[in-house]
Amino acid sequence: MTRRTLLSLLAAPAAAADPAMLWNHVERLLRENDERRRAALEAVNGPAARTALRSRVRSAMLRAIGGLPQRTDLAPRTAGELRRDGYRIEKVIYQSRPGFSVTGNLYLPAGAGRHPAVLHSCGHSVNGKASAAYQRVSIGLARLGFVVLTFDPIGQGERFQYAGIRQPTVDHARSGRQAYLTGATLAQFRIWDAIRGLDYLETRPEVDPRRLGMIGQSGGGMLTLITAPLDERIRAAMSACAVATYYHKTLAGLIADPEQIQPGLLGSGIDHPELIASVAPRPFLICAARRDFVPIDGARRTFQEVRPHFPPGTVAIAETDDVHNLNRELREATYAWMLRHLAGRDESPSEPELAIEKDEDLQCTPAGSVFDTPGARRVFDFTRATARTLAARRPAAVDPGAVRALLGLPPDLPPPRRIGARIETEPGIALPLDIEGDGTDLLLVVSPDGRRPAWATGRVAILQPRGWGATAPDRPEDFFAYRGYELGRPLLGMRVLDVLQCVRLLRADFPRISVAGEGPAGIVALHALVLDPEIAAAQLRATPESYEVFLERADIDAPVASFPAGVLRTYDLPALIEAAGPGRVIRG
């Protein structure tokens, strides 16, 4: 930047607010990713290519969710039984991990012999397995000759993890955000609950293990979507009110829970169509509601994308003119699908009136909470234990290349440039940059609100990274943090890039540049310092001492905008300070 450009920057009027900038940028990244992904899927043709697709999806999924744990003792037990006309219900509990109990209702049809079985994953109902629609589909399948295991998701039914909180999305978000720190995900916990549910079904003498299926609606439909590619024992699947694409759901403004957000998966070219196509030739039914908040056009487009990858009659879409709901029409479509593909019966049964149970009569625990039992563990307990293990194993020295990779920083970017009172750090991102004061040395303050703090003296530049200050979006910050995770471009990394590009622009005019930030902005400044050895120093004020402070208690909401997923596998903030070198980090 020339001296004339610098002077014009100093004299430029304040930049106007632009709340749409971050949305427009993320939407462009998603659209370009979607175009590449669709072209790649269209090119998949023939047995070898489809085998390669299945392998690629499985590898990408396992990498995104943080892998899967080892199998341990299920420790199954039955807490009671209800006998009804044509079926009975056992109240069962199994451990998907040691001390991590899953409560479920096992619906058993009348009649001897082995039966096909369906694992039923619930959506975001407060009462989990006891929800009326979920009871009805379970009873309906049982009366048709299926064994059905309907289990409570984490944070629902008898598995709420936090005292006083009975909101599934709050429960999921809190435990899921903390899990991201260690490279695990809530999806990993949910998938493993399901896989161990299949294991449990295989132990039952009433079940034919060669004829297992999985169904789910809403969040349960998402769990079916991400479990079926990983477990080939699922011989037929149904996902309701869930299938669209991550791209369509973003355009619809759906933030989603951490259980539905797998870091890097979308950036690796995997979306709903790839997940479903990888299940082929095993049958897959998409159920969709036309007035759902899950976009129907996304479900329809996904169906068209996956049709060429399935044998005739093994993929279908069933629609209903309804809102977000596993209604009778979709339940009947599910019955016909499972009968055809698991029982060999080409029937389209109508659902009769079905009597459902009271919530308390389906409980597996005396007080309605599995976490009241001795030795019970929550997601937080596993996350904290993993963090302690990682701390003991992490390399002492920080590799800047590994930090750059974790932040998702692009390998090459065009030089930054001035546009009026803004600096363009990458195409589509033009940020307010104000310079004031006297002196030859420059302090670049990373500012969430655009104001100059009282402690910043001398020549000061105020940079508002994307999504802060003048470019703060109308949507919650977590919405963009989650989209960044999916794309492999964490929001923290985007903001660090803004600082690095700003320093790059200003370096020609200021021989010595330091950076500073308060709170979360200090985390941005520290990362920039480590990645640019020519930055003189970083002033950190009220900045967290480490990422592990977000794991001190179970009730802490870890700020996903301030860390890349899996950060504690590679480094923590104290290691960055040490890597910066003596005297380069100043805490205020």
Lookup result for tokens 């807490």: 79
- Per-residue pLDDT of 221-241, as tens digits, reads 999 999 999 999 999 999 999
Q: Read off the tokens for 80.
A: 């009671």
Please determine, for residue 463, whether its predicted confidence score (pLDDT) is greater than 90: yes
The owner of tokens 């879409």 is: 317
Distance CA 99, CA 82 (A): 26
Strand, coil or helix: what is 39? helix
Query: Could you give the C-alpha distances from 203 to 75, 206, 209, 577, in angstroms and in order?
Result: 12, 9, 9, 52
| Average pLDDT estimate for 127-154 | 98
* pLDDT at residue 11, rounded to an integer: 44
Tens of pLDDT, residues 102-138: 999 999 999 999 999 999 999 999 999 999 999 999 9
Asked if pLDDT for residue 349 goes beyond 60, the answer is yes
Q: How confident is the model at residue 17 (pLDDT cuts 50, 70, 90)?
A: confident
Question: Is 270's pLDDT higher than 70?
Answer: yes
- What's the start-to-end Cα distance of the chain, in Å? 31
pLDDT at 396: 86
In this prediction, residue 526 has a pLDDT band, given cuts at 50, 70 and 90, of very high
Query: Are 503 and 45 spatial neighbours (Cβ–Cβ below 8 Å)?
Result: no
Q: Cα 49 from chain centroid?
A: 28
pLDDT at 279 over 80: yes
Q: What is the pLDDT of residue 1?
A: 47
Write out the DSSP string of 491-521: HHHHHHHHHHHHHHHHTTT-S-EEEEEETHH
Q: What is the pLDDT of residue 166?
A: 95
Average pLDDT over residues 338-343: 98
Mean pLDDT of the chain: 96
The pLDDT of 387-397, averaged and rounded, is 94
Model confidence at 274, in pLDDT bands (50, 70, 90)?
Answer: very high
pLDDT at 15: 62
d(CA 243, CA 236): 16
Give the pLDDT of residue 198: 99
Nearest in space to 192 (alpha carbons), one of 361, 379, 11, 407? 379
Q: How far apart are CA 306 and CA 300, in angstroms?
A: 10
Is 147 within 8 Å of 193 (Cβ atoms)? no
Mean per-residue pLDDT for 523-543? 97
Band the pLDDT of 7: cuts 50, 70, 90: very low
pLDDT for residue 422: 93
Task: Provide the pairing of β-strand 77-84 with 87-97.
Answer: antiparallel
Q: What is the mean pLDDT of residues 202-227?
A: 98
Burial of 358 (0-12, 13-18, 19+ CB in 10 A): exposed
For residue 364, give every residue at least 6 positions away whose Cβ sits within 8 Å of its Cβ, in sequence order, or none. 79, 80, 91, 92, 93, 103, 104, 105, 158, 370
pLDDT score of 52 more than 70 = yes
pLDDT number for residue 12: 47
Distance, in Å, from the CA atom of 119 to the CA atom of 144, rounded to the nearest integer, reads 15
pLDDT of residue 14: 55
Asked if residues 475 and 458 have their Cβ atoms less than 8 Å apart, the reply is: no
Give the C-alpha distances (Å, rounded to integers) separating 179 from 82, 193, 400, 493.
37, 16, 24, 19
Q: Which residues of 547-561 are buried (b: 16+ CB within 10 A; e: fewer)?
A: bbebbeebeeebbbb
Are 168 and 155 in contact by the 8 Å Cβ rule? The answer is: yes
Strands (E), 241-310: 284-289
Which whole number is the average pLDDT over 58-86? 98
Nearest to 331 by CA among 303, 314, 361, 353: 353
Q: Is the pTM of this model over 0.85?
A: yes
